[in-house]
A and B are shown apart, each in its own frame.
Chain A
Amino acid sequence: MGNGFVSNVLRDNRRSDLDSRLAAILSFAEKLTLFPEAAKAEDITILKSEGLSESAISEGIMVVAVFSLITRVADALHFDTPSDPSTGADLLRRFGYWGMASPWSLFTSDPAISRALKSRDTTGDLSDSMMRWLESVASRGPVARASASVAARSLVDKVMCNPNNVSERDVAELKSHSFTERMVFDLILSAAAGASFMRMRSGYDALRPPIRESVMVASAAN
């Protein structure tokens, strides 16, 4: 895909020359990102009418979750925007996502953990594993919030809703409550994971009700 095509899609995902399957999943991703609680089974019906399988929809939900987390961490911590975006793309092409996990992973092409995850069924174990991980990371947030203050709650709310608004003043306020930088980082991470988890759960709640209903019907019949 060329850069011009991508830029145009980012400006308008309802372009008539866009593949209808891709346009449909982009619209669903928009709803999950901006109004996650509004995702409903009717949205899934629309996606299926465009020919998308449950597995394809599940993949779309997971991509939204991945980027909902990382964009919040990047914005809340005010990551420097790379001076040359193509360098980041080259890094990704050469090392993949796993290559960035640790200094050691740069030198290991495909470790067991990543290989094991890749082999899992898209609609099953992989999404369940990711939701469990997000939930465990997010669960550290309430602990910190309870032990701290209005300042911690304020930071969590900003990361979840408007991470660009996190400021040095927020960090200074937390430090005045004896927060170390590691604790601030963990709080930001847990809030970002919470926002990501919420979007994933909304997506799967919309996707999975028919499965749950069919299981209940089968259980009742037995």
Chain B
Amino acid sequence: MLLLNLEAGLGKFSRAVLHGFRFLSPGAPFDILKAFWYRRTTFGEPFCAFAEAIMRGTPNWSRGEKELLGAYVSSLNQCLF
């Protein structure tokens, strides 16, 4: 992770939840959570609300088809995440 103090920039409650997650689910993608929570109001909440609405709320493609499309875009961008 390039910007190492993202976690230090989180509030106490966020850090406690993150620690809980590490304990319960060690392989989870923590960096994405840290990025969302670091800029919660300008990034995490609006982005996740749009992603939720688009990936799970729109009617033309199934969830699986949309995840496949997303994975394809990620692979074109050479993103392993």
Interface residues of A (CB under 8 A from B): 1, 6, 9-10, 13, 22, 25-26, 29-30, 33-34, 53, 55-56, 59-60, 62-64, 66-84, 86-88, 90-91, 96-103, 105-106, 113-114, 117-120, 122, 126, 129-130, 133, 137, 163-164, 166, 168, 171, 181-182, 184-186, 189
Indicate with 1 or 0, residue by residue over B16-56, a CB within 8 angstroms of chain A CB atoms: 01100000011111111101111110111111111111111
Complex Cα–Cα for A7 and B76 (A): 13
Question: Residue A133 contacts which of B32, B50, B65, B76 (CB distance < 8 angstroms)?
Answer: B50
Interface residues of B (CB under 8 A from A): 1-3, 5-6, 9, 13-14, 17-18, 25-33, 35-40, 42-61, 64-66, 68-81
In contact, B56 and A97 (Cβ under 8 angstroms): yes
Complex Cα–Cα for A71 and B77 (A): 7
In contact, B50 and A66 (Cβ under 8 angstroms): yes
Complex Cα–Cα for A17 and B69 (A): 16
Q: Given A66-B51, A69-B47, A114-B49, A79 and B32 touching (CB < 8 A)?
A: yes
- Interface residue SS majority, chain B: helix
Complex Cα–Cα for A60 and B54 (A): 9
Complex Cα–Cα for A29 and B17 (A): 36
By a CB distance below 8 angstroms, the chain A residues around B76 are 29-30, 33-34
Which of B1, B57, B73: most chain A CB closer than 10 A? B73
By a CB distance below 8 angstroms, the chain B residues around A114 are 48-49, 52-53, 57
Question: Residue B37 contacts which of A70, A103, A189 (CB distance < 8 angstroms)?
Answer: A103
Question: Residue B54 contacts which of A55, A59, A78 (CB distance < 8 angstroms)?
Answer: A59
Question: Residue A185 contacts which of B14, B31, B38 (CB distance < 8 angstroms)?
Answer: B38
In contact, A118 and B37 (Cβ under 8 angstroms): no
In contact, B29 and A82 (Cβ under 8 angstroms): yes
Complex Cα–Cα for A34 and B74 (A): 11
In contact, B52 and A96 (Cβ under 8 angstroms): yes
Complex Cα–Cα for A22 and B37 (A): 34
By a CB distance below 8 angstroms, the chain A residues around B39 are 185-186, 189
Complex Cα–Cα for A114 and B70 (A): 20
A-B contact pairs, 24 of them (CB 8 A): A1-B68, A29-B69, A55-B58, A63-B61, A63-B73, A71-B77, A71-B81, A75-B81, A78-B1, A80-B29, A82-B29, A83-B26, A91-B29, A97-B52, A98-B51, A98-B52, A102-B44, A114-B53, A114-B57, A118-B57, A126-B54, A126-B58, A133-B50, A189-B42
In contact, B60 and A113 (Cβ under 8 angstroms): no
By a CB distance below 8 angstroms, the chain B residues around A81 are 80-81
Question: What's the nearest-Cβ distance from chain B to residue A49, in Å?
Answer: 17
In contact, A30 and B53 (Cβ under 8 angstroms): no
In contact, B52 and A33 (Cβ under 8 angstroms): no
Complex Cα–Cα for A81 and B60 (A): 31
